[in-house]
Structure 1
Amino acid sequence: MNLPLADLFQALADPTRLRILALLRELELSVGELAQLLGQSQPRVSRHVKILVDAGALERRKEGSWVFLTLARPDVAEALSTLADEATAAAFAADRTRLAAVRRDRAAAAELYFAANAHVWDEIRSLHVAESEVEQAIVRALGAGPLGRLVDIGTGTGRMIELFGPTAEQAIGIDKSSEMLRFARAKLEAAAVPASLRQGDMYALPLPDGSADVVLLHQVLHYAQVPGQAIAEAARLLGPGGRLLIVDFAPHEREELRERAEHARLGFADEAVLGWLGEAGLTGQVVEHLAGGELTVTLWAGAKQPVRLPRRRAA
């Protein structure tokens, strides 16, 4: 007889594995960071992790050469924390103290990465209206209500999740760059905004159909060689009544952005974006044009139709 609960309890019947669960309740960690925190070799920690993964307690997520771990069963970790006695709680407290050093290391690495790349981002920002105006336009487009399940594709520094994560039921950021994910992770931790960050390609997102209520493509589409395919993949995530918001540049002639900033497309015409939204099964509209600089920022929205229940016939 298969007893998953028995397998889970057996997997947890080890002090180190309980500590791993407690640490991951506080923060997503790599295997290397866990080894540092636990004072054990990485192979030994990997064996403990494998047991927990096989029992369904943890999930692995690969980011470049790193493997990050997250809780597959947050409810189990919460229950174990409640049941922990004073001695166990004291051991967890010591681990949490060491966890602060990991947070500091991440923040320092993020600062170095930002310092090396900030000049490119600042140069692009100087070409259009203030970023605060763009963000206010996004707020207007999304409205004041709760956002439900939010997915930010090409999350970059995590700014969109920092802004909108607090009003979302769940916030997930996806980026192809493991370096950007580490930067975003440190930034969101410092801002105390809970989010799940995952490495993935805009053409093959690591999420199931219908898993989002709101999807954002903020200053991402100009990196796409096949924008229509990226929009279709974003639309795939939307549940009935879900919304896709695209924020990008109108057509321009700043050819140097291809070389210095790796832009594949020099902006988009409204007709092109609305056409791609329609092909993806969404009702599209132009939300707003933000002129005022050398580059015009445009917001486009696409909505997935809600499921309509059949009308009941009168008796």
Structure 2
Amino acid sequence: MFKTPELFRSLADPTRLRILGLLRAMELSVGELAQVLGQSQPRVSRHVKILIDAGLAERRKEGSWVFLSLGPSERVDPLFALLDSWNALDGEDPWAVADKARLEAVKADRATAAERYFAQHAADWDELRSLHIAESEVEAAIARALGERPVGRLVDIGTGTGRMIELFGPAANSALGIDRSPEMLRLARVKLTEAGIPMTELRQGDMYAIPLPSQSADTVIIHQVLHYAQQPAAAIAEAARLLAPGGRLLIIDFAPHEREELRSRDAHIRLGFTDDSVLKWMDAAGVPGRVVEHLGGGELTVTIWSGERSDARLKVVA
């Protein structure tokens, strides 16, 4: 339990207030914070530790990087309400204004790194996309599958560049992307910031052991990820675990095909899936499914499957 005097002591240094203001804008690494603040990484790390100990900030390891974000909203929101009210009276702190300007340099560095990574892989991605119907038509079909129901708490497993969150995150109560690749997560951060969705949460994680509690999502999407899975049934079961009663699971992947070179060139474990296989796995996970649509028009057919978590199944599992 944090005591109020301890919380105020954690904010006694103006640098720590600046750090919270920066984390309010976006998740940042310690190195990026040091770049914006013009301070050494060890010094920034000491400030960060105090904020973490006070419950005002959180750290998350992602490959060789450590990213920092704000603590729980119930703890930081009252603080920002107080700071905003003072800023309304006295004007914004000049240091905060300068920090925001320097933050643009961090965004530019991220964008440059993302462009470099994308350029290295763009040829492979473009070749794969050329084998199936236009991505815009697939995305339109996914939107039709989601329909008019509220998205609620969205989790995108294998988020990649964050495209699903870019499309459906604005309509969600919250949006969280999971991916194993730190490089893809860094690319997603840039893309989502450019799209005006900077506060989406992105986490490194495995599709078989997602770092989220059960029943923490209303909509889960697995878009073009299952063909990388050694154990697709286990991946579907883990996705289903996240769903609250009435929550929906949407799976988008290829129908069976014979493009054997995708195994060696693009690391595809599975060359597509039959409807019977996917529906069997969904049913076993407690999310009875149906085929929404087969999208032909290329050498590869894209299929959309949808399922819903029932209250009755959850009661049995419990």
Establish whether TM, by shorter chain, passes 0.5.
Answer: yes
1:100 to 101, 104, 116: 104
Give the ranges of 4+ consecutive aligned residues of structure 1 lying more than 3 Å apart after TM superposition: 83-88
Instruction: Find the aligned partners of 1:172 and 1:84 in 2 and give their Cα distance.
Output: 32
Matches within 5 A, 1:107-256: 107-193=111-197, 194-256=199-261
2:218 touches 2:244 (CA, 8 Å); kept in 1? yes
Instruction: Find the aligned partners of 2:66 and 2:5 in 1 and give their Cα distance.
Output: 27
Deviations for 1:90-141, whole angstroms, at most 9, x for unmatched residues? 2111110101111111111111111111111111111110101100100000
Paired residue for 1:67?
66
SS at match of 2:238: helix
* Matching residue's letter, 2:288: T
Give the direction of change, closer, same or farther, for the CA distance of 1:49–1:80 in structure 2 (3 Å limit). Answer: farther
* Matching residue's letter, 1:37: V
Instruction: Find the aligned partners of 1:3 and 1:298 in 2 and give their Cα distance.
Output: 50
For residue 78 of structure 1, report the CA deviation from its aligned partner: 2.1
Paired residue for 2:83?
81
SS at match of 1:298: strand
For residue 145 of structure 1, report the CA deviation from its aligned partner: 3.4
For residue 9 of structure 1, report the CA deviation from its aligned partner: 1.7
Instruction: Find the aligned partners of 1:306 and 1:215 in 2 and give their Cα distance.
Output: 17
Give the direction of change, closer, same or farther, for the CA distance of 1:3–1:295 in structure 2 (3 Å limit). Answer: closer
Instruction: Find the aligned partners of 1:165 and 1:229 in 2 and give their Cα distance.
Output: 26
Instruction: Find the aligned partners of 1:100 and 1:220 in 2 and give their Cα distance.
Output: 32
Give the direction of change, closer, same or farther, for the CA distance of 1:236–1:55 in structure 2 (3 Å limit). Answer: same
* Matching residue's letter, 1:161: I
Consecutive unaligned residues in structure 1, runs of 5 or more: 309-315
Instruction: Find the aligned partners of 1:151 and 1:71 in 2 and give their Cα distance.
Output: 19
2:254 touches 2:303 (CA, 8 Å); kept in 1? yes
2:2 touches 2:54 (CA, 8 Å); kept in 1? no
Deviations for 1:236-284, whole angstroms, at most 9, x for unmatched residues? 1000100000000001110100011010100001111011101111111
Instruction: Find the aligned partners of 2:155 and 2:8 in 1 and give their Cα distance.
Output: 33
For residue 79 of structure 1, report the CA deviation from its aligned partner: 2.0
Give the direction of change, closer, same or farther, for the CA distance of 1:34–1:91 in structure 2 (3 Å limit). Answer: same
SS at match of 1:99: helix
Instruction: Find the aligned partners of 1:3 and 1:126 in 2 and give their Cα distance.
Output: 55
Paired residue for 1:260?
265
Deviations for 1:128-171, whole angstroms, at most 9, x for unmatched residues? 10101100100000012321000000000111100001100100
1:174 touches 1:200 (CA, 8 Å); kept in 2? yes
Paired residue for 1:296?
301
For residue 3 of structure 1, report the CA deviation from its aligned partner: 4.5
SS at match of 1:184: helix
For residue 80 of structure 1, report the CA deviation from its aligned partner: 4.2
Instruction: Find the aligned partners of 2:274 and 2:248 in 1 and give their Cα distance.
Output: 20
1:22 touches 1:77 (CA, 8 Å); kept in 2? no
2:275 to 270, 274, 282: 270
Work out the percentage of aligned pairs sharing the same amino acid.
67
Bigger shift: 127-136 or 144-153?
144-153
Bigger shift: 299-308 or 139-148?
299-308
Instruction: Find the aligned partners of 2:278 and 2:30 in 1 and give their Cα distance.
Output: 42
* Matching residue's letter, 1:28: E
SS at match of 2:248: strand
For residue 61 of structure 1, report the CA deviation from its aligned partner: 1.1
1:284 to 259, 269, 289: 289
For residue 84 of structure 1, report the CA deviation from its aligned partner: 4.0
Instruction: Find the aligned partners of 1:34 and 1:80 in 2 and give their Cα distance.
Output: 23
SS at match of 1:207: coil
Instruction: Find the aligned partners of 2:253 and 2:165 in 1 and give their Cα distance.
Output: 17
Give the direction of change, closer, same or farther, for the CA distance of 1:54–1:307 in structure 2 (3 Å limit). Answer: farther
Instruction: Find the aligned partners of 2:301 and 2:270 in 1 and give their Cα distance.
Output: 14
Give the direction of change, closer, same or farther, for the CA distance of 1:77–1:198 in structure 2 (3 Å limit). Answer: farther
Consecutive unaligned residues in structure 2, runs of 5 or more: 314-318
Give the direction of change, closer, same or farther, for the CA distance of 1:63–1:30 in structure 2 (3 Å limit). Answer: same
